[in-house]
Amino acid sequence: MQTTAFDPAARFPAKIVARIEGLEYVEMAELLQEAWAVEGTNANPLLKLHGCRAPVTDTLVWTECFSSMAAILARRYPQKAPELFAYLRRIINAA
């Protein structure tokens, strides 16, 4: 039985993944699935961000967005995983 590795970056456009991996600022709202629309053709799909979105203020939604971002970062910078998840824990405790 063959297993496939989890690729957290597969859910997001390469441009967003590159910004995250480049340690650039990314709005949490940009990490919401509904923020992206598929445009183009079936042969050449293109993900495009739907305009400006309101900031993420719900703790559960923020946690989902941060977890996605942390998974992408941990894939590129595995030594940072403990810090990322410690920060996530602090946010959850504060909420």
Contacts of 12 (CB under 8 A, 6+ apart): 31, 36, 47, 68, 72
% residues pLDDT > 90 (the chain): 43
Average pLDDT over the chain, rounded to whole? 80
Kindly tell me if the per-residue pLDDT of 87 is higher than 50.
yes
What is the rounded average pLDDT of the residues 39-52? 52
What is the rounded average pLDDT of the residues 65-79? 94
What pLDDT is attached to residue 85? 94
In this prediction the pTM is 0.72
What is the rounded average pLDDT of the residues 68-85? 94
